[in-house]
Amino acid sequence: MKRLFRNKPIARDWFGIDVFQVGPRFLRDSGLLYLLDEVGSTSEFLRGRGGPAQGRICKWDGWGWKARQRTMLDPVIDPSPGTVVVARLQTAGKGRQGRAWVDCGGLHLSVVVPPHRASFSQGFSVWLGLLSVLVLREDFLVDARLKWPNDIMVGSRKLGGILLENTRSGPDKMVVAGLGLNLGTSRSGFPSHLQGTATSTLIETDRLLRPGEVGGRIISRVENELDSFQESGWTAYRPALSYLDCLLGQQVHLVSGGRKFRGRAAGIDDHGALLLEDEQGRITDFSAGDVHLEAVLGRADDSREGKAAEDDRNRDASPDS
């Protein structure tokens, strides 16, 4: 995959900058978009870590994005709210809990979320996942659903995910949101170990979506609904969350804090915690952990043996960023 990108110079707008429309809150303080050819991690680059990467800096001038010449760019130091980093190829991205994942082509985006009380709430990550699912369903007709805490699924196949990181502290506290989605991968384009467990918008819609179009729609939705989420909380989102929560009512297996739990998924509370009902009807909330449907877990255990099974379970099926 790396040779494919390196042997074919990036001369055209692969991202779709003309359709990357974000709200004024994301443009007010920064209006900066980094379009990178290849980077280890968009999130690390945005946080000033790692080495330089080739790409363009695009600046919002009030009328549209103006792209500067391609050059070697250093990682961002002290990014302003609203700064966005996108990469065509990401070689060292991470999922939740530091897992490695395979870049199969798509949207790799990290953004500094503008300061807002809602962004520091415990349920913000789940809310971002839900909004992403709603955009995919309503704007692009993808039958996406949310798997707690923030995986984006189509059926039992992973389409992408969100990774939220809080950096700094005190008044300088900053939230970096990473979004990864498989967009243009064909059925045969996934590595053999991801066949049947990963999917893309191309597979689901037979349409090739540009990263800027999808990323812009999601950021715009976040912009438009941040205030209402802060004011009213989950009230307006409860019906959508209940309908799109692919774990709700299912028997699941959860690993949290080094312990294993089994029970029925009873929903997600206002703090973004998974509610698990045990055989005695007692409900416990979990703020973090790895969860699997019992049926899917059983099939995986039956079809894998030894270390190969363990390696597969520790590898993300698609990007987070």
Q: What percent of the chain has pLDDT over 90?
A: 68
Q: Which domains does the chain possess?
A: 2-243 (3.30.930.10), 247-310 (2.30.30.100)
What would the mean pLDDT of 198-202 be, rounded to a whole number?
Answer: 96
Cβ neighbours of residue 57 under 8 Å, at least 6 residues apart? 32, 33, 34, 35, 67, 68, 73
Q: Quick: pLDDT tens for 246-274.
A: 999 999 999 998 999 999 999 999 999 99
Determine if the pTM surpasses 0.85.
yes
Query: What counts of helices (H) and strands (E) characterise the chain?
Result: 9, 15
The string of DSSP codes covering 93-138 is: -B-GGG-BB---SEEEEEEEEPP-GGGGSTTHHHHHHHHHHHHHHH
Q: Quick: pLDDT tens for 135-174.
A: 999 999 999 999 999 999 999 999 999 999 887 666 678 8
Half-sphere exposure of 221 (CA within 13 A, CB side): 19
Q: How many CB atoms lie within 10 A of CB 121?
A: 18
Cβ 234 vs Cβ 123: under 8 Å:
yes
